[in-house]
Structure 1
Amino acid sequence: MTWSALALAVVAFVAMEPLTAATHRWVMHGVGEFLHRSHHRPRVSRFERNDWYPVVFAAIVNIGFFVGFNVDGFAALVPVGIGITAYGAAYALVHDGYIHRRVGWFDGRQIAVFDRLADAHRIHHLYNAAPYGMLVPIVPSELRTRAGRTDRNPLAV
């Protein structure tokens, strides 16, 4: 991989956080709420309707990979796809693996940096509001203060 391709992959990874926050805010809590709603309710099975989001997003990235590998002039889509895929893997690891404990990798483990992300996500689930980002969540101070006054944990299994 060339330095420019690596830089493009890193830029794509970094750009995914605000794009993810915007998608979460205006799609998942907007027109796509019919799928995302399952994520804010107690899980009744191993899978949620919300799980269709990463399937659709992965399909879009795979189309980008196909075009990047097969259509002249679109090779830049390959490192962009690598950056997006790396972000998706990090998101899944933190969100599904650590915060929601949907896989057993983190059972009984506490990781300080992930705990901060889990606390921000708990606030999102408490109030169905900000923060919408995952790896760099921006929690409004009034919500953090309000959340500090409750022991309720909507993430508890």
Structure 2
Amino acid sequence: MPPAGSIVLAFLAFIVMEPVTAATHRWVMHGIGEFLHRSHHRPRTARVEANDWYPVMFAAVVNLGFLAGFNWNGFASLVPVGIGITAYGAAYALVHDVYIHRRVGWFGDRKIAAFDRLADAHRIHHLYNAAPYGMLLPVVPVELRIRASRTHRNPLAKV
């Protein structure tokens, strides 16, 4: 595959990951896989939570794609797709785990306006255990945004 085609494929994979992530969050993490995700909606009592198994499982699937892409004829396009998915995962982790939940001290008390908008949407998700399910481009239902504006409770605040 020409380098330009690989770049386009990686970029498309990155973009497609937002709706895939939202769907996975909605129907897996708040569905059949809630037994793991529930730990994320409770006050953290340890550095690692059961929900942390999700990125491990997702990375394992991407690594299988890399294995196939690097080793078997006809699967080379899985490499740029895996790069795009990995870049999305890194962006997600930076925004969600590092900035919003402050799981590592990289940002201290520093505020970043674009990330704060995402944090506000995530606060709504934690308030009502409902939409928005996306992370980098969350779609917040108007009624939940209005309802959340009437409460000052912040489930993301460190206790």
Task: Please give the range of the TM-score, normalised by the shorter of the 2 chains.
Answer: over 0.9
Instruction: Give unmatched runs, 5+ long, in structure 1.
Output: none
Counterpart residue type for residue 64 of structure 1: G
Report the counterpart of residue 106 of structure 1 in structure 2: 107
Partner SS for 1:104: coil
* 1:78 aligns to 2:79 (yes or no): yes
RMSD: 0.6
Report the counterpart of residue 144 of structure 2 in structure 1: 143
TM-score w.r.t. structure 1 length? 0.99
Report the counterpart of residue 48 of structure 2 in structure 1: 47
Counterpart residue type for residue 100 of structure 2: I
Shift in Å, 1:108: 1.0
Alpha-carbon separation, structure 2, partners of 1:62 and 1:17: 19
Report the counterpart of residue 134 of structure 1 in structure 2: 135
* 1:116 aligns to 2:108 (yes or no): no
1:53-64 aligned at under 5 Å gives the runs 53-64=54-65
Q: Once the two structures are aligned, what percentage of the paired residues are identical?
A: 76
TM-score w.r.t. structure 2 length? 0.98
Instruction: Give unmatched runs, 5+ long, in structure 2.
Output: none
Alpha-carbon separation, structure 2, partners of 1:50 and 1:21: 16
1:30-45 aligned at under 5 Å gives the runs 30-45=31-46
Alpha-carbon separation, structure 2, partners of 1:142 and 1:120: 13
Counterpart residue type for residue 95 of structure 1: H
Alpha-carbon separation, structure 1, partners of 2:109 and 2:41: 23
For residues 75-117 of structure 1, what are the alpha-carbon distances to aligned partners after superposition, in whole Å with 9 as ceiling and x for unaligned?
0000000000000000000000000000100111000000000
Alpha-carbon separation, structure 1, partners of 2:58 and 2:108: 28
For residues 26-76 of structure 1, what are the alpha-carbon distances to aligned partners after superposition, in whole Å with 9 as ceiling and x for unaligned?
000000000000000000100000000000000000010010000000000
Aligned residues: 157
Counterpart residue type for residue 89 of structure 1: A
Alpha-carbon separation, structure 2, partners of 1:98 and 1:58: 21
Alpha-carbon separation, structure 2, partners of 1:57 and 1:16: 12
* 1:155 aligns to 2:156 (yes or no): yes
